[in-house]
Amino acid sequence: MTYKCMNCGATSEDWNRLCNPGTEDLEGKLCATSTDQICDERLPDMKYTCGTCGGLAPDAGHLCDPKKIVK
């Protein structure tokens, strides 16, 4: 079984490697997901922020007002 982190979208066969494991597909928005809810090792993968609430996501499709993070 594959588990998906409900905070940052990471997937793993081992649920212990995820900050908030779930078995459901990540279909919803990640808005209002603060940086303290995302695994430290997954923070570099977050490429977008929500212009409305500041949520983070690896792709624009999971945010309601996506803005690319420029480093």
Task: Look at residue 51 and give its three-state secondary structure.
Answer: coil
Dump pLDDT digits (tens) for 40-64.
Answer: 888 888 888 888 888 888 888 878 8
Domain definitions of the chain by residue range: 3-68
Using CA atoms, how far apart are residues 52 and 62, in angstroms rounded to an integer?
13
Count of all residues that appear for the chain in the document = 71
Q: Which of 29-33, 34-38, 41-45 has the lowest mean pLDDT?
A: 29-33
- Asked whether 53 and 32 are in contact (CB, 8 A), the reply is yes
pLDDT at 2 over 80: no
> Listing from the earlier edge strand, what are the strands of the sheet with 66-68?
56-57, 48-50, 66-68
Place of tokens 């779930």: 22
What confidence score (pLDDT) does residue 23 get?
60
Confidence of residue 68 (pLDDT cuts 50, 70, 90): very high
